[in-house]
Amino acid sequence: MKLAEITNYLESIAPLNYQEDYDNSGLIVGDPNMEIHAALVALDCVEKIVDEAISKGCNLIITHHPIVFKGIKKLNGKNYVERVVVKAIKNNIALYAIHTNLDSIHTGVNAMICHRLGLTGTKVLSPKAGLLKKLVTYCPHAQAEQLRSALFYAGAGNIGNYSECSFNADGFGTFKGNEDSDPFVGEKGFRHRENEVRIEMVYPTQAERKILVALFENHPYEEVAYDIYKLENKHQLVGSGMVGWLEYDMDGYDFLHLVKDRMQAKVIRHTEVIGKRIKKVAVCGGSGSFLLKDAIAAGADVFITADFKYHEFFDAEEKLIIADIGHFETEQFTSNLLLEIIQKKFTNFAIRLTEQNTNPINYLF
């Protein structure tokens, strides 16, 4: 199949505009029109992953972490980033990364952590703003239902667990066409008054092009009146971290042992195990120290993440337990998640999970 078929599907689940500003998710190496025979999935794209792809006949590598974060000015193999890119190009292997955009969706990396820990009632810990817009348009009553249906089909009107959401109000519009006009109702040169429905729908910004095409193709008027508003509302299903509940409250040390076991962590760095029992749990795959205040505000008893610095542990102030289990450890099951996502859509496609451990950190016990 074409590379674009796979990448377009992944981006329909985790749109690229969901990634953080510093990130570099998406197609890093490769032609969208190239034929893909088999894919290899891994957490990191390092040299031994490219070698594994070559040995297994895979001409696409899908990873969570992008091999290129910053701009590359030269490609002479002086570091592992350049060597990976050069080797991929020489062997006609496409490189694709799905990083913080996969972190941000409510079915992504953090949902995988919650699932492994047995959390229920989960929701995004810090929802993102700036991802939603509102369309307002005006349509004659007789054509309003067809227009609403077309806009719903294009991706408008989804709010949380609800779809086909719209607000409608009756009113009337006036217009007068000039000699070059071709009005759907009324006569050119005369002011016309038409009973209309004001239709309002919220939509994600990445769906705007499809929604406007649907609007223009299904609205009966020659000149379509519409407004687009940027919303400050936070997208409750997109953002950083997650928070959920254990089925039963647990002793602090018992819970940390459960985390160590289920997340296959070698070691856990943690703050003092305060006396209260553990019931509400916040998580963030990867570097999550920036979410500590959100975890405290959410009333979490423990915050599981990685990459806390020494002085940042003091910021817990005995309001919760910080449990730093390691960057790799929080995200190691992301490859399994990607495998599941792709196999569900492309049932006959050859996709393989890496056999390599790419954790650059070793532990001495």
pTM confidence score = 0.92
Confidence of residue 142 (pLDDT cuts 50, 70, 90): very high
Mean per-residue pLDDT, 116-135: 97
Is the separation of the CB atoms in 345 and 328 below 8 Å? Answer: no
Instruction: Indicate the pLDDT class of residue 124, thresholds 50, 70 and 90.
Output: very high
| CB 114, CB 20: distance < 8 Å | no
Q: Which helix (H) or strand (E) holds 248?
A: strand 234-250
Q: pLDDT digits over 145-189, tens only?
A: 999 999 999 999 999 889 999 999 999 999 999 999 999 999 999
| Of 72, 65, 97, nearest in space to 86 by CA | 72
Please say whether the dihedral angle defined by the alpha carbons of residues 327, 330, 331 and 335, taken in this order, is positive or negative: positive
Whether 334 and 102 have beta carbons less than 8 Å apart is answered as yes
SS3 assignment for 184-222? CCCCCCCCEEEEEEEEEEEEEHHHHHHHHHHHHHHCCCC
The dihedral through the CA atoms of 358, 360, 361, 364 has a sign that is positive
pLDDT at site 71: 82
Contacts of residue 203, defined as CB under 8 A and 6 or more positions apart, other chains included, come to 132, 133, 134, 135, 155, 156, 157, 158, 211
- Count CB neighbours of 81 within 10 A: 18
The predicted-structure confidence for 228-279, as pLDDT tens digits, reads as follows 999 999 999 999 999 999 999 999 999 999 999 999 999 999 999 988 899 9
Nearest to 99 by CA among 68, 59, 130: 68
Query: 365 falls in which pLDDT band (50, 70, 90)?
Result: confident
